[in-house]
Structure 1
Amino acid sequence: MDRDPTIQAVCRLPPLLAAVGELIGERFFLAQVEGREPLAGGGHQQLHRDLSAQRPGDTAVALAFFDDYGPENGATRIVPGSHRQPPGAPPFDFADESRSVQLSGCAGDILVFDAELVHGASLNVSGARRRSILVGYFSEQLYASHLETAHLRNIRMDTSERFEPADFVFGSI
């Protein structure tokens, strides 16, 4: 899937790259693409972070939805502001759903967020399709460590292309 020309075109949409550039704030690369389709009765994830274990803001994630999504078909839950914990804050309780927000929207929507934002997919109770791709973008500084683990994540696409945030500015697109 990660080498499909249509999927690669979605990953390079200028408004998407502008949003990623705003989050990462420095030169970045397209690191991975994974398909998602939770089946009826499946898809639930505990709240979590897609941590880079490096430094805040060095990775961004995009979820591009190919079907309408909402509570019935397992849409993503997020915890707003959880990627910017104040200094000295207690560790996040991933079992506490009280601050999570269930998203809903339409096919064609793309959700872009800092990989440290607490999030998780929900249970697909209806069995309705919720196809999406999960796209990861990393700061250029993470390229060497990315190459070391790419085979473990079954990444087949070329990840050598670089994107400059200044090349994708909202309002000029």
Structure 2
Amino acid sequence: MTDREQLHRQGYVLLRRAIPAEWLDDLRATFDAGVLPSNQWPVPRGMDWRHSLLDSDSKVQAVCRLPQVLAVVGELIGERFFLSQVEGREPLAGGGHQQLHRDLSAQRPGDIANALAFFDDYGAENGATRIVPGSHRSDPAEPPFDLTDESRSVQLSGAAGDILVFDVDLLHAGSLNASGARRRSLLISYFSESLYPSHLETLGLRNIRMDTSERFDPLDRTDTRNA
């Protein structure tokens, strides 16, 4: 199976140490400086998470544009796309647990891709993401997936600098941060170009300050060899 086939079959790829190590201290400092309490966002955020407003930072923008990441996103979306949103998220001690869910495509399956860029080492003890490989494209003959069934979920673990790129219809969830150890990350969203008008309608609600006019074209081949 080729890298491309595996990506589409599984619905995600984990790019190991994709963020240059020398960027991480600055990115962590930017995250911490941008943390805002829930009531200072246009739409209140979950109380068991830290949320950081950092989308205008140049190094954060560089992470969003890493060639490996753009290559995978282009393969998943399959047409011209743009960077829609990036914000910082971190589960607080004793918080962060989510039920398996999909973020949901908009107009067609695969028109949105997400990425999680990890600034700290992550695993089961500090609330790392769980995913269900291959769950982004359901078989019409199968019964609906039971979102409480964790038998197929995989608990991710890895090092600061890793980036998870996934189809938004892939079942995933945050886990309980039982240890209280830091687990800062970026949540990055990429949209098909056709979604730009609806994206503009909700800029204020999502507290987006960055320029979203740049466009990216899918490459001829996805390089996922660092997965």
TM-score grouping bracket, smaller chain normalisation: over 0.9
Match of residue 49 from structure 1: 102
C-alpha deviation, 1:168, in angstroms: 7.5
Match of residue 140 from structure 2: 87
Task: Name structure 1 gaps, 5 residues minimum.
Answer: none
Distance in 2 separating the partners of 1:36 and 1:104: 17
Verify the 8 A CA contact 2:130 2:153 in the aligned structure 1.
yes
Task: With a CA cutoff of 8 Å and minimum separation of 6, indicate the structure with the bigger relative contact order.
Answer: 1
TM-score (norm 2): 0.72
Match of 2:195 among 131, 142, 156: 142
Match of residue 58 from structure 1: 111
Match of residue 151 from structure 1: 204
TM-score (norm 1): 0.94
Distance 1:126 1:85, change over 3 A: same
The alignment-based identity, stated in percent, is 78
C-alpha deviation, 1:169, in angstroms: 4.9
Match of residue 29 from structure 1: 82
Deviations 1:40-64 (A, max 9, x none): 1011111111113321110000000
Q: Helix, strand or coil for the counterpart of 1:165?
A: coil
Verify the 8 A CA contact 1:31 1:137 in the aligned structure 2.
yes
C-alpha deviation, 1:70, in angstroms: 0.2
Distance in 2 separating the partners of 1:81 and 1:54: 20
Q: Helix, strand or coil for the counterpart of 1:153?
A: coil
Tell me whether 1:111 sits opposite 2:168 in the alignment: no
Aligned residues: 171
Q: Helix, strand or coil for the counterpart of 1:31?
A: strand
Tell me whether 1:16 sits opposite 2:16 in the alignment: no
Verify the 8 A CA contact 1:21 1:168 in the aligned structure 2.
no
Q: Which runs of 4+ in 1 moved over 6 A?
A: none
Distance in 2 separating the partners of 1:17 and 1:124: 30
Distance in 1 separating the partners of 2:213 and 2:142: 37
| 1:121 partner letter | G
Verify the 8 A CA contact 2:75 2:219 in the aligned structure 1.
no
C-alpha deviation, 1:90, in angstroms: 2.1
